[in-house]
Amino acid sequence: MSHIVTSKTYTTPRRPFEKERLDSELKLIGEFGLRNKREVWRVKYTLAKIRKAARELLTLEDKDPRRLFEGNAILRRLVRIGVLDENRMKLDYVLGLKTEDFLERRLQTQVFKLGLAKSIHHARVLIRQKHIRVRKQVVNIPSFIVRLDAQKHIDIAINSAYGSGREGRVKRKRMKAGAGGGADNDEDED
C-alpha cells in the first residue's frame, strides 16, 4: 500500500480563543457564506504563503534575475485571478492584500454578485447542486477561484432545471398528477 503525500492546506491559529480573531472570522463566514472556520484558515494560509514569497523577494536587489522572474510570476498570477489591479503590479502591493480580496474571487461570491442567486447561501446550494457553469464546464465547488477572463462566462448550466433542462422532480410529479405544475414555487422545493 502506498501512502498519499499531501501538503498542508491550512494552519490553525496560534491562540485558539482570541476574541478579535474569533469575531473577525465569524464576520467573514457570515459575509461570504462559508461552511466553517477551516475555509477562512485555508485562504489565510494561501495569502500567508504569497506574502512570504513576496517578502523574501523584496530582500533581494532590484535587478536580481530571481526577483525579476519569480516576482513577475507572482504578480501575473494575482492579476489573472483578479486579486491585484494591473496598475498596481509591484511586490509592495502584494503585502497589502487582505483575506477578503481572495474571498471575493470565489465562485460562490461571484454567483451571488451577478444576481444568479437570491443570497450568498443560495449561491452555495446552486453550485453544489450543479446548476452553475463557468464557460462550458459545470463547476460544483463553491471555493473555485474565478479568473478575470472567466468572470463573464458564469451562467446557469444548460441541463439544469433553472436553465433549459427538464423540470425538477416535484414539478414533474405535480404535472403527472394533473395539477398543471404552475411555476409558482415548484423550483424551490427541488
Residue pLDDT, tens place only, 68-91: 999 999 999 999 999 999 999 999
Phi, psi dihedral angles at 156 (to 5 degrees): -70, 140
Collect all residues with Cβ–Cβ distance below 8 Å to 187 and sequence separation of at least 6: 161, 162, 168, 171
DSSP structure class, residue 129: T
pLDDT bin (cut points 50, 70, 90) of residue 164 is confident
Rounded Cα–Cα distance for residues 154 and 42 (Å):
24
Quick check: 149 and 81 in contact, CB under 8 A? Answer: no
Per-residue model confidence (pLDDT) at position 186: 45
Sequence length of the chain is 190
The terminus-to-terminus CA distance of the chain in angstroms comes to 42
pTM for the whole thing?
Answer: 0.86
Rounded Cα–Cα distance for residues 153 and 160 (Å):
16
pLDDT bin (cut points 50, 70, 90) of residue 180 is low
> Per residue in 90-123, pLDDT tens?
999 999 999 999 999 999 999 999 999 999 999 9
